[in-house]
Structure 1
Amino acid sequence: MLKRFTPSILASYMSLAVKGALGSAFIVSITGCSDENAAKQVAPAPAVSIFNVVSQEVGDYREFVARTEAHQEVKIKARVEGELIERHFNEGSYVEKGQLLLRIDPSEYKSSVAEIEADIKSKIAGENGAQRDLKRGKEVAEQGFISQSDLDKLTTNYEQAAAAVKSAQASLEKAKLNLSYTEIRAPFAGRIGKVNYDVGNIVGPSSNELAELTDVDPIYVNFQVEEADYISYRQKHQDSVNNPQNVPIDLSLRLPNNTNFAAKGQLDFADTKIDRSTGTVELRATFANEKSIVMPGLFVTLIVESKDKQEHALIPQAAVQENQQGKFVLVVGDDNKVATRIVTLGRRINAMWVVESGLQEGEKVIVEGLQKVRQGVEVKPVEKMVDHVTGTISSKTDSAS
């Protein structure tokens, strides 16, 4: 039998249902707030790696695209014709000055020397005979036994015999010189390249070069400077215009593999005129290259830095970010809260940026954990070390060990 509900009974049930729902919502709300507060109180500050900003003396800085050139370079050629019979070096090896490199068959040239030496002896004998005839002729001419015409003939014969001796002696010097050319020696110390003719080939003055010898210690580095910059340089360094080695600049090289060359260079030469087609002047620097690391013909970056230097802050490249306002870093203050700092950056030195403005030595910048923080957040900073050359980040304990 169905129970019938009066309007008053239905109203009572609805009132109780509404009160129950409101009570449940209130309990859920109280529980949610307490959970959020508990989460806020329990969540630890995120840990980030920081780097203490250091400073370094840095001067005015320019980079130039440059090309390397051998200090000395020679194409070795045959100066006499003959068969190539000996080779005394390995291709690509280092050879000393005066070292025998190649030998051409000297047989023909030895024969020429011997033949001319014999001819000289004959001509000297003829000269001596003509000299004796002239002496006797002068003695009898004083007594009137021969005419002046005959005496003149004797004089002429002697002069011709003497001239023939000198001519033969000159031929002997030339023959000996040609004989010496059959031995090809290194004109200076350096590395010798590929040989273009094997033993057994006939070579001569009309042949191509036999090999190429280069001296790369020191190595030349050629670069161009725009005319306006060069005029400014001359105005600023009047005392050094005629002595480029005294210009107060430091020169260094960055190689094609993006590594820095160990040796420092010095300015060696400045051209005497401006190239009309390019509006530049040619300059040259020299670098010690004892281990022959830098080869001729490389495109390199020449770094020119003034010796008049000022202190600037240095930071790792890993700390730098960029937005619409420019480059910035995240700095951790004394209260361990994060602040955004806009910075003006200068040159890069290996893995470090030079900071021209925006940071000072001793401030702390975040280098790891950047994605976990934002402006105003409190963090747990962990100090790290950064290798200035490679940019490797490590803990202080790792660096100490």
Structure 2
Amino acid sequence: MIQYTAAAAMIFMSACSNQQAAPAAPPPPKVTISEVDVTAATYYDEYPATVTALNQVDLRPQVSGFITGVHFTDGARVRKGQLLYSIDEQLYAANYQQAVANLKVQEANINKAQKDANRYHELDKADAVAKQLVDNADAALEVAKKQADAARANIQAVQTSVRYTKVYAPFDGIIGISNVKTGAAVTAGQTLLNTVSTDGDLAVDFNVEQKDIFRFSNLLNEKAHPGDSTFTLAFGEDVYPNPGKIILLDRAVNPQTGTLKARLSFPNKNNVLKAGMNGTVRVKNNSSGAQAIVIPYKAITEQLGEFFVYVPGDSNKVSQRKVVLGKPLGSNIIIKDGLKAGDKIVTEGVQNLREGIKVTIGTPGAAAPKK
């Protein structure tokens, strides 16, 4: 009797244990499903850019010597033809005087040779002189004339050197900080004196990929309208108030980077933009209200640098689908690839999902809370 009771107790305890080992499965997570649709989207493509002058010249002396004068204030606005630097011209002025004197000597030689040639020709008419002497006189006259031509050319060269002792502004613009002071020795073609650049309008250069060349070519050929905000320039969170316009595309694609340089022009009336500044060019999408697939950003999951959404399938099981992200638009984001109009995706409750899990589809706002 005691053995029977013990056996019954063991059977009862085993049954209880089995019931505890098999708890009820948790219910499928609740999610919200939305249908993908195309909608009007205005956004900006962004490109790293550099501000540069439309026209910029490095000033270098064309003669060697010592600086005798600096005739401007560093950073000032200069006018075309304004005197900027003077170089000691004493040596070049002396060379000019010597060249002028040499020309006078050659002209005197021409006069003497001409008289000799005339005299020999008169004697030749009377057959009173050898023909060879007449020929020699004519040759001497030609040599004297050529020497005079060379003397005149030398004068022009020396005059040019004298003019080059003065350095003038090549155009209206802003001049930088001088690299030389009065008394400094400079070498022709080597010493950098200063740099002058235009400042009324400044250029902004940036690189576009090959796939975008056709788009930018169309923008270049379109007639710009006043106030057109297709191109804007940003520095961090600050956006330059005046829009720009595209003025050129480079002649060829860079084979190393696969990009093409584009150039914009921006007005710079208040001299806010400075050559060398780095910013971001913002290019509005092709047309205002362009159609695009836009979904809530919260529907996106990321794994190892790739992005996915969950799509419902048979028996309410979800699967991952890879997508290519475009520009963010507030709490939404543009999808470049991976979805099309009419597709259905999970927009709420994605934090509780994994590949192949069965879900319960609820109404918006009824998704399970984050764990």
Residues 164-193 of structure 1 deviation map (CA, whole Å, 9 limit, x = unaligned): 111111111111110111111111121111
State the shift of 1:259 in Å. 2.1
- Aligned equivalent of 2:282: 303
Q: Does 1:278 align with 2:257?
A: yes
For residues 79 and 227 of structure 1, the distance between their equivalents in structure 2, rounded to whole angstroms, comes to 43
> Please, which of 247, 251, 261 is the counterpart of residue 240 of structure 2?
261
- Aligned equivalent of 1:178: 161
Q: Does 1:159 align with 2:138?
A: no
- Aligned equivalent of 2:64: 81
> Please, which of 30, 34, 45 is the counterpart of residue 62 of structure 1?
45
- Contact 1:70–1:296 (Cα < 8 Å) also in 2: yes
Q: Which moved more, 1:279-288 or 1:174-183?
A: 279-288
**Identity across aligned pairs (percent)?**
23
For 1:308-323, what aligned pairs fall within 5 Å after superposition? 308-310=287-289
- Contact 2:84–2:168 (Cα < 8 Å) also in 1: yes
State the shift of 1:97 in Å. 0.9
- Aligned equivalent of 1:169: 152
Matched residue SS, 2:289: strand
For residues 216 and 62 of structure 2, the distance between their equivalents in structure 1, rounded to whole angstroms, comes to 47
Matched residue SS, 1:103: strand
For residues 41 and 76 of structure 2, the distance between their equivalents in structure 1, rounded to whole angstroms, comes to 41
- Aligned equivalent of 1:99: 82
Matched residue SS, 1:134: helix
TM-score calculated relative to the size of structure 1? 0.59
> Please, which of 214, 217, 230 is the counterpart of residue 200 of structure 2?
217
- Aligned equivalent of 1:208: 191
Matched residue SS, 1:267: strand
State the shift of 1:262 in Å. 2.7
May I ask how many residue pairs the two structures share in their alignment? 267
TM-score calculated relative to the size of structure 2? 0.64
Q: Which moved more, 1:139-148 or 1:64-73?
A: 139-148
For residues 304 and 264 of structure 1, the distance between their equivalents in structure 2, rounded to whole angstroms, comes to 10
State the shift of 1:347 in Å. 6.7
- Contact 1:245–1:267 (Cα < 8 Å) also in 2: no
For residues 187 and 325 of structure 1, the distance between their equivalents in structure 2, rounded to whole angstroms, comes to 60
For 1:316-355, what aligned pairs fall within 5 Å after superposition? 324=298
State the shift of 1:244 in Å. 4.0
Give ranges in structure 1 of 5+ residues lacking alignment. Answer: 1-56, 313-321, 327-344, 357-374, 376-401
For residues 249 and 231 of structure 2, the distance between their equivalents in structure 1, rounded to whole angstroms, comes to 18
Matched residue SS, 1:278: coil
- Return closer, same or farther for 1:107/1:353 CA change in 2, 3 Å cut-off: farther
Q: Does 1:230 align with 2:217?
A: no
Residues 98-137 of structure 1 deviation map (CA, whole Å, 9 limit, x = unaligned): 1111111111111111121122112112112212322332
Matched residue SS, 1:213: strand
Structure with bigger gyration radius? 1
- Return closer, same or farther for 1:203/1:270 CA change in 2, 3 Å cut-off: same
- Contact 1:244–1:267 (Cα < 8 Å) also in 2: no
State the shift of 1:305 in Å. 2.3
- Return closer, same or farther for 1:287/1:184 CA change in 2, 3 Å cut-off: same
Give ranges in structure 2 of 5+ residues lacking alignment. Answer: 1-39, 301-325, 335-364, 366-371
- Aligned equivalent of 2:314: none
- Contact 1:245–1:268 (Cα < 8 Å) also in 2: no
What's the C-alpha RMSD, in Å, of the aligned pairs? Answer: 3.3
- Contact 1:65–1:299 (Cα < 8 Å) also in 2: yes
For residues 175 and 331 of structure 2, the distance between their equivalents in structure 1, rounded to whole angstroms, comes to 42
